[in-house]
């Protein structure tokens, strides 16, 4: 396991993360998704966890939460294990190195259907061939689904399988993919709430956080948008989210 890494500190320094010096690194998207996790006890799965930023942030906030990080890339999974230890969470967090999309791999790793009370995920944004992706293989894997892998539909099928009936999910995605996200949730998650995230009040949303309940038939809701910046600075709420001093309610 050898690649140059750096150590970052987020949530006001309370969460320490070893991350690759090059390639995909956790940032504001991870902070926002972690803040949208309302689960305070039970089992949280961070699906496609990367180095573990989202799940670890939620676990630090909620001492009764048990955490499973699923990551298929060996080096990234190694960093996630390091981050579990670095943040003193070995007693209630585990890293599973497995392909989320393969039901047999999940089950072999002890992650049967209905394992989680909640699943949080930041899926790859792009379908195969949809756009040029980074030559860095880990950044490419974080941003684009593989050829023949079934795309977001298959990803959300796996997320739904991991979630117990009546359990919850939260994901972050590109705002212009709302239709695709809604379609992938169809028949799996209902009571969807969509939080649009805008760079500034005068700009279109560029991200969405979508939360839902497995098996619910309640209708979709669009929540008031979250503005990230006022001028060149984060808004006070977003500053508080970055310090780990606020959460995102569902309205």
Q: Distance between CA atoms of 8 and 16, rounded to whole angstroms?
A: 6
Q: Distance between CA atoms of 208 and 221, rounded to whole angstroms?
A: 12
Q: What integer pLDDT is reported at residue 250 of this predicted model?
A: 86
103 lies in some domain? yes
Query: Looking at the predicted structure, is the pLDDT value of residue 1 above 70?
Result: no
Query: Looking at the predicted structure, is the pLDDT value of residue 48 above 80?
Result: yes
Q: What integer pLDDT is reported at residue 36 of this predicted model?
A: 98
Mean pLDDT of 77-81: 97
Query: Looking at the predicted structure, is the pLDDT value of residue 200 above 60?
Result: yes
170 lies in some domain? yes
Residue-range definition of the domain harbouring residue 117: 5-187
Give the list of residues 6+ apart from residue 159 with CB closer than 8 angstroms, or none: 47, 100, 119, 121, 169, 171, 188
pTM, to two decimals: 0.90
Q: Please tell me which residue, 7 or 3, carries the higher pLDDT value.
A: 7
Cβ-count burial of 132 within 10 angstroms (0-12 exposed, 13-18 middle, 19+ buried)?
A: exposed
Residue percentage of the chain with pLDDT more than 90: 84
251 lies in some domain? no
Q: Is 33 helix (H, G, I), strand (E, B) or coil?
A: helix
Number of domains in the chain: 1
Mean pLDDT of 232-245: 97
Q: What integer pLDDT is reported at residue 140 of this predicted model?
A: 47
Q: What integer pLDDT is reported at residue 143 of this predicted model?
A: 46
231 lies in some domain? no
206 lies in some domain? no
Q: How far is CA 89 from the centre of its chain?
A: 18
What is the CATH number for 19? Answer: 3.40.50.150
Query: Looking at the predicted structure, is the pLDDT value of residue 141 above 80?
Result: no
182 lies in some domain? yes
Query: Looking at the predicted structure, is the pLDDT value of residue 173 above 60?
Result: yes
Q: Distance between CA atoms of 113 and 164, rounded to whole angstroms?
A: 7
Q: What integer pLDDT is reported at residue 150 of this predicted model?
A: 81
* Bridge partner list, 197: 207, 226
Residue percentage of the chain with pLDDT more than 70: 90
46 lies in some domain? yes
86 lies in some domain? yes
Instruction: Show the tokens assigned to 232.
Output: 């060149």
Q: Please tell me which residue, 3 or 203, carries the higher pLDDT value.
A: 203
Q: What is the mean pLDDT of the chain?
A: 92
């Amino acid at each position: 396991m050898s690649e140059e890494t750096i150590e970052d500190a987020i949530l006001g320094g309370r969460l320490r993360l070893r991350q690759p010096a090059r390639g995909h690194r956790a940032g504001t998207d991870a902070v926002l998704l972690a803040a949208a996790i309302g689960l305070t006890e039970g089992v949280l799965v961070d699906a496609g966890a990367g180095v573990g930023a989202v799940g670890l942030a939620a676990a630090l906030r909620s001492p009764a939460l048990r955490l499973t990080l699923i990551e298929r890339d060996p080096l990234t999974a190694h960093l996630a294990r390091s981050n579990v230890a670095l943040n003193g969470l070995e007693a209630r967090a585990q890293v599973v190195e497995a392909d989320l999309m393969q039901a047999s791999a999940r089950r072999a790793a002890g992650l049967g259907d209905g394992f989680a009370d909640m699943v949080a995920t930041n899926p790859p944004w792009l379908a195969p061939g949809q756009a040029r992706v980074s030559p860095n293989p880990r950044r490419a894997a974080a941003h684009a689904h593989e050829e023949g892998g079934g795309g977001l539909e298959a990803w959300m099928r796996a997320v739904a399988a991991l979630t117990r009936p009546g359990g919850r999910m939260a994901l972050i995605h590109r705002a212009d993919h709302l239709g695709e996200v809604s379609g992938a949730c169809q028949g799996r998650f209902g009571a969807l709430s969509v939080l649009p995230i805008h760079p500034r009040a005068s700009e279109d949303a560029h991200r969405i956080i979508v939360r839902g309940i497995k098996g619910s038939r309640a209708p979709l809701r669009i929540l008031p948008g979250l503005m990230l910046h006022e001028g060149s600075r984060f808004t006070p709420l977003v500053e508080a989210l970055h310090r780990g001093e606020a959460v995102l309610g569902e309205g």
